[in-house]
Structure formats: C-alpha cells, structure tokens
Amino acid sequence: MNKSYFYNRPDIENLQEYGLKFEQTWQVTDYFERIVAEYFGAPYAVATDCCTHALELCFKAINYQGTVTVPKHTYMSVPMMLDKINVPYHLVDISWEKCYNLVPGHIIDAATMWEANSYQAGHLMCISFQFKKHIPIGRGGIILLDDHIQYKRLKRMCHDGRDPTKNQFDDNVTELGYHYYMTPEDAARGIHLFNNLKDKTPTIWSWKNYKDLTDMDFFKGRTSAE
C-alpha cells in the first residue's frame, strides 16, 4: 500500500485480512461499490455519504421538472431534500414495503432494502447504510444503476465534480459538484460488514416503521387529493 495515502488509516489496512490490498484510497470505495452492485444485480454503483444525498444527486442528474408523490410514512429527510432542491411534492397515504418509487421509471427510494438481485433495470435505486440498516456503516448511501454515462457523471457529481481517480491538479471540473462522496474509511467498514453480515436475514421495512409526517407542523398542508 502507498503509505502516503494509508498512513494511520487502520480501517483500510485491516482489509488485508481478506486478502485485499489497495494502492490508492479511491480503489477502496470502488471495490465496495462493485461488491454491492454485484449483490443487487446492478451493472454499476456510486457510493455517497448518505442515502438522502444519493436521492438528491439522482434528481439533479435527471434534471427532474415535475411534482413528486411521496409516501407520508417515510423518513422526513426525503421530502425535506425535495424542499431544498425546489422540487414540489405531495404527501400521500401509500402502503409500501421494502422500497417505493419517487419518480416512476427513474428513481426508487430503497433505503431500507437488502435483497439479492433486486435491482430494477433502468432505474436509479438508492440504498442506505445508516446504523439500523443491514449493512450498518453508520452513515452512507449508494446509487445502483445500469447507464454507464450516468454512472461516470454521478461519480464526478458526488466528488466535487472531480474524477476521483485523478489528482486534483490533473483534472478539469466541467459542472457543479457536490461534497457527497463516501470516505474510504466508511467504504472499508462497509466491506468488512458485507463480508460478515451478508448472509444474515435482513429486516423487511415498510410504511409501518415510520411516523405519519403530516402529523408534524412542518409538513401540514402538503397532502393532495387522492
């Protein structure tokens, strides 16, 4: 390992117990992306610092211009993210399990989902690694997808607009980037957890695990006629 990159980073160095050795830190995150993508049956994956930011990047990537239907039983950061990026939405009574569509045909909030070969072709599918999830890194998310051009763009978008495989002095930023990348240390922890937890039966989450957002003052008046 290149000590200039790996000095005093035991989470990464400890991956040697699995026979894994890396020359650059971006390779740690890339490896984690590849094993998660393979598990879900997706061609590509882009790791982020959290699932909410993964969803935000998806909306930015497709330049969505419509109104979104959001289950009123979901985590509050999802509609708050839509407020932040000025995407209008309605909170609707939807009984979902495992995942739900935010933009049908495009974006799936699968934050709670962990199921082999469950990737839905043609979609941007976002998974969470929050501490209650099946791979409990503590914080983190990932976007599963099958479009190579979109994959390359999202890799840059979540990494300040940069190509993470290049030194900043050798790169050229061409569009607005976001500081939403998964750290190599979190990716290393994800690899360790994947190797030790992937065969355990995951918890199946649904709308029942979340409070009705319309009971909160911030979200009052956000419902629509059904």
Domain that holds residue 107: 22-219
75 assigned to some structural domain: yes
Q: Of 48, 60, 49, 75, nearest to 143 (Cα)?
A: 48
In a domain, residue 137? The reply is: yes
Arithmetic mean of pLDDT, 181-209: 90
Q: Given pLDDT bands bounded at 50, 70 and 90, which one contains residue 9? A: confident
Q: Is residue 53 part of a domain?
A: yes
pLDDT in tens, 78-115: 999 999 999 999 999 999 999 999 999 899 999 999 99
Number of compact structural domains in the chain: 1
Classify residue 3: in a domain, yes or no. no
Residue 10, in any domain of the structure: no
As to burial, measured by CB atoms within 10 angstroms (0-12 exposed, 13-18 middle, 19+ buried), residue 108 is: buried
Structural domain contains residue 11 = no
Q: Using alpha carbons, select from 109, 114, 115, 112 the residue that is nearest to residue 132.
A: 112
- The answer to whether residue 72 is domain-embedded is yes
Model-level pTM greater than 0.85?
A: yes
Inform me whether the pLDDT recorded for 1 exceeds 60: no
Quickly state the pLDDT bin for 197 (edges 50, 70, 90).
confident
Find the mean pLDDT for residues 15-31: 92
CATH code assigned at 150: 3.40.640.10
What pLDDT band is residue 146 in, cutting at 50, 70 and 90? Answer: very high
